[in-house]
Amino acid sequence: MTEQTLVLIKPDGVQRGVIGEVISRIERKGLTLAALELRTVPTEIAAEHYAEHAERPFFGSLLEFITSGPVVAAVVEGPRAIAAFRQLAGGTDPVEKATPGTIRGDFGLETQFNLVHGSDSPESAAREIGLWFPALRS
C-alpha cells in the first residue's frame, strides 16, 4: 500500500549543502517524490506545523530556526513511506538517538539542528501535507 509523508530539509540542511544528499538517500531507498519545493516558511505555518510542541520550552527557538532561511518541502511516497523516511532520518537527537548511517546520525550534532523532518503517523502526514501543499490535500 502506497503512503505519503511530508519531508522537510530544515534551514540547517539547506545551509550545509545536503539537499542532494538527502534526496539521493530518499531515492536510493526506493521512495519517490510527489512534490518538491524550496520555500521560506511564514511563522504562522511553522507554528501550525509544530502545534503539538506549543507548550514546550524550545517552541520559540524552534520557530525562529525553521523560519530563519529556506527549507525544502517535499511529499515523499512509497510503501510504508512514513516509517521508511523516519528510518532514513534517525532519532531526534543526532548524537544520542540517531545512529551512523542515518541522515541525522551522519550530519547532525544538536537536537534542534537535526536537518530533516518527517511526519510521524498517517494522521500527521495528512495534516502536514494539507498544510504545506494544500493542492494535494486528501
Site for ligand IDP (CB under 6 A): which residue of 31, 108, 117, 128?
A: 117
Are the C-beta atoms of residues 67 and 43 closer than 8 Å to each other? yes
Are the C-beta atoms of residues 38 and 82 closer than 8 Å to each other? no
Site for ligand IDP (CB under 6 A): which residue of 80, 120, 127, 131?
A: 120
Cα–Cα nearest to 108, from 7, 8, 16: 16
Respond yes or no: is residue 117 known to be catalytic.
yes
Residues 6+ apart with CB under 8 A from 134: none
All three cell numbers of 117, joined, read: 523532518
- Provide the 8-state DSSP code for 65: H
Please list every residue from 40 through 99 that binds ligand IDP, using CB under 6 A.
58, 62, 92
The answer to whether 58 is annotated as binding is: yes
Nearer to ligand IDP, 96 or 135 (CB): 96
Among 18, 117, 118, 129, the one annotated catalytic:
117
Nearer to ligand IDP, 113 or 133 (CB): 113
Are the C-beta atoms of residues 63 and 20 closer than 8 Å to each other? no
The answer to whether 29 is annotated as binding is: no
The answer to whether 10 is annotated as binding is: yes
The answer to whether 114 is annotated as binding is: yes
Rounded to a whole number of angstroms, the minimum distance from the CB of residue 84 to ligand IDP is 15
Kind and range of the H or E run holding 117: strand 116-118
- Residues at the site binding ligand IDP, with contacts judged by CB under 6 A: 58, 62, 92, 111-112, 114, 117, 120
